[in-house]
Structure formats: structure tokens, C-alpha cells
Amino acid sequence: MPENVKIAARVRTTTGSAPSRRTRNEGWLPAVISTPGEKSKHIEMNRHGLAMILKKSGKDNLIADIEIEGEKKPVMTLLKEIQYDGVYGDMLHADFLEISMTRKMRVSIPIRLIGDAVGVTQQEGVLEHMLRELDVECLPGDIVEAISVDVSALGIGQALHVSDIKVDAKLTVLSSPSAAVAAVLAPTLEKVEEPAAAAVAAEGAEPEVIGKKPAEGEEGAVAEDGKTPEKGKEKGKEAEKGKAPEKGKAPEKGKAPEGDKAKGKGK
């Protein structure tokens, strides 16, 4: 059974974000005690004092007698949850559940693996811890800190299930019997390409020829003298054959213009 601790607290008269922030700034932690069938109690407790208790006893199934200022009888509770700041990690709020030593309750008990699996030590397998907590029903006085499970006989490909766990008769297991608790898996090897296969693949590839002369007519073709022919040069030569003389230029000596020849024929 987990250690039963005592926590001093006082009634919290205001609720909400702003009052809770002021409470934390003053060194107190807002908390609530839930009672089945009754109204919840809003309390506050010394934040540093609770942190010291959690550091010593842990928070898994912590049973605490909360002594509320002004009340004669302490309230026996089970710590259900603590909310933390996501940035700084400070405690923001605590939730407690009122319990009775004569009333059964449902709790989650941590599963602790013990022993060295033969599949790991002799077969180079990997141990996988799948189920971390076992859900049970029991009286508060029968709660245990952890349930130990021996995995030393596990080989590669073997697993332990909830049905294989032996627990005290005072505990009623609620988790599924077929749920896997731990297993030894075969090691995963990275596939590496064989050098011979890589060489064969390289031989089958056609090598690229640097400086290969493009076929005639292809863009980028180079003449035999190493110069690229100018585009449209051949077309320009063909156009020069029937080119008319420039405006204002005298005809060659001994040749009459085509217009004079036409006049002479009419005489």
C-alpha cells in the first residue's frame, strides 16, 4: 500500500482564472476534492509543501489525509491528477478523490518489468514494453505501488499478456486479458546494396559521350572548321540572286534599263 501522507489545506472562497492566479502567486496551489454523490470542495494548499511530498512519495496512487482548516475530521483522498504549466512546468491545479477504506475503487497500477529476456541477451532481439499500467478494482488499503512482471523467459517472437500476470486475489483485473504487456521483437537490419549488384547496374548503363557531334540538322550542330554556321546565311544568298538594284543607283555601263528597251522596240 502506498504511504499515507497528511496535507494541510484551507477552504478556497473564490474560483476562476484571476483568483487562481493570485493564489499561485502567493505560494498556494488551487485544488478540488471530488466526492461521489456530493458537491466538490474547493481548497488550496501550500504548493512547495506538496512538491516536497510528491518528490518523496511519488504521485502514483498517492493516498493523502487532507486536513482542512476549521474541520475536525481529515478527508481521506486519492490524488487523481496534477495539472502543470506547459512552458515553465509549474503546478497549476490538483484533483483529489475522496475515498473510503470500506469501498472498492478503480485504480491504475504501474507495471514494472524485471529480468533480462533471453531473446535480448542471447538472440539480439529488442524488448518492447507495450502496456505500462494495469487497471484494477480493490479497496484503498489493498493498492500496491507497482506490479512486477518477469520477462526473463521471453525469446524472439514471444510476448506476455495480461492473462499471464499473477496478481493478489484482492485485486480484480479490469484490463483486457488479451492485451500485450511486453514482447521481444527481432532486430531490424538496414538493407545495404551489394557491391557486385551495383557494379552490374553500372555496366548496363550507356555512358554519356562528352563533346558528341550532333547529327546534321540538329540544333547546335557545328561545322567541320569548328564554327557554327550563321542562321539564314543560305537564305540570304538565294535572295541576292534576284535582288533589285538599290534606288538611285545607275545601271552598269553598256546595259540599258529595261524601260528604254521597251521604248526602242516601239520605234
pLDDT exceeds 60 at position 16 = yes
The DSSP secondary-structure symbol of 59 reads S
How do residues 94-103 score in pLDDT, each as one tens digit? 999 999 989 9
Residue 227's contacts (CB-CB under 8 Å, 6 or more residues apart) are none
Q: Which CATH architecture describes the domain 105-185? A: Beta Complex (2.170)
> Is it the case that residue 203 has pLDDT exceeding 80?
no
The pLDDT tens digits of the residues spanning 162-197 come to 999 999 999 999 999 999 999 999 987 665 555 555
Pick the closest to residue 93 from 104, 80, 103 (CA basis): 80
d(CA 90, CA 80): 17
149 or 226, which is more confident?
149
Helix, strand, coil % (nearest 5) of the chain? 20, 30, 50
Asked if the model's pLDDT at residue 113 lies above 80, the reply is: yes
d(CA 32, CA 50): 14
For residue 222, pLDDT over 50 is answered with: no
pLDDT band at 215 (very low <50, low <70, confident <90, very high): low
In this prediction, residues 16-20 reach a mean pLDDT of 88
Instruction: State the pLDDT at residue 59.
Output: 79
pLDDT at 60: 84
**Average pLDDT score over residue span 85-90:** 91
**pLDDT tens digits, one per residue of 145-170:** 899 999 999 999 999 999 999 999 99
100, HSE (Cβ side, Cα atoms, 13 Å): 5
Q: What is the mean pLDDT of residues 23-49?
A: 92
Give the confidence band of 264 by pLDDT, cuts at 50, 70, 90.
very low
pLDDT value, residue 87: 92
Domain 4-98 CATH superfamily: Ribosomal Protein L25; Chain P (2.40.240.10)
Would you say the CATH fold of 105-185 matches that of 4-98? no
pLDDT band at 57 (very low <50, low <70, confident <90, very high): confident
Q: What is the pLDDT of residues 119-148, one digit of tens each?
A: 999 999 999 999 999 999 999 989 998 999
Structural domain spans, the chain: 4-98, 105-185
For the chain, give the percent of residues with pLDDT over 90: 57
Angle at 41 between CA 35 and CA 46, to 5 degrees: 120
Closest to 33 measured CA to CA, from 121, 93, 108? 93
pLDDT at residue number 198: 53
Distance CA 183, CA 175 (A): 17
What is the four-CA torsion angle of 167, 171, 177, 180, rounded to 10 degrees?
-60
Residue 199 confidence (pLDDT) above 50: yes
CA distances from 204 to 49, 160, 196, 212, 248 (A): 75, 51, 13, 20, 70
**Residue found by looking up cell 524488448 in the block:** 127
Q: What average pLDDT does the structure give for the chain?
A: 80
